[in-house]
Copies of this chain bind each other. A is one copy, B any other.
Amino acid sequence: MRQGKGRLLIVGLGPGACEWVTPEATQALAEANDLVGYAPYLARLPERPGQTRHASDNREELARASQALSLAASGRKVAVVSGGDPGVFAMAAAVFEALEAGEPAWRGLEVKVIPGITAMQAAAARLGAPLGHDFCAISLSDNLKSWTVIEKRLAAAADADFVIALYNPASKSRSQGIHDAFACLRARKPPATPVMFARAVGRPDEELTITSLAEADPGNADMATLVIIGSSATRVVVRPGSMRGFVYTPRGEGARP
């Protein structure tokens, strides 16, 4: 019996709010036979008749990726559901790792990434335009890389005056890294550098903090937090009364008012 042509779409839901799910992602989810993903992401999606859900734990990324590839190879239309943008510290890299290490036939599968709004974009949008000029994104998770590499990248980013977005700043089992990261940055950047904590952006418990490198409490960051550290050009525009300031990084050094 000849099987139908399977495919695997890796779908980004964005950071939490429905208004950030692209039409491409919505269509991909509607057409899937199987949804594979971390349980809380699957829980955000409406139930559909005929669609099978495969929920898994957050730490099982490679196993989840292999399961999804295997389902697609059997002829199913599979959607791997990812938070944010699957291509930015999320599920897409795990799928290609599993694909390269797995069955040779998987290389012939149709595999497509559906991009989404990633946490640093949502955080930046709420704050103003802190990523308005050259920036870098660094994950502080040392589950798969050494802290030496992380620290080298933090130092390089500080010395070259990039705006820095920190993903995965802390978790229950990993609370020291963000303190070490701030120690590294404080040794290299001016105390007045703007620092922003954006927690749960797009969700009901969203929380934004604008502070400075000197005043920031790194202990504020948890699993749901995205941290942005300004460049030397990043500015906070004070607003009337109790309005939160706008944070932005001008388009070039020459553009500072």
Contact = CB atoms under 8 A, between A and B. Distances in A.
A95 B145 CA distance: 39
Interface in A157-187: 157, 159-162
User: Copies per complex?
Assistant: 2
Interface string A94-114: 111101110000011001111
Interface stretch (A33-41, A46-54, A136-144, A218-226): A136-144
Contact of A92 (B19, B128, B153): B128
A22 B24 contact: no
A93 interface: yes
10 contacts: A19-B22, A19-B27, A89-B251, A112-B125, A113-B125, A117-B117, A118-B121, A134-B139, A144-B250, A149-B161
Interface of A: 14, 17-24, 27, 61, 85-89, 92-97, 99-101, 107-108, 111-118, 121-122, 124-126, 128-139, 143-146, 149, 152-153, 155-157, 159-162, 235, 237-240, 243, 246, 248-255, 257
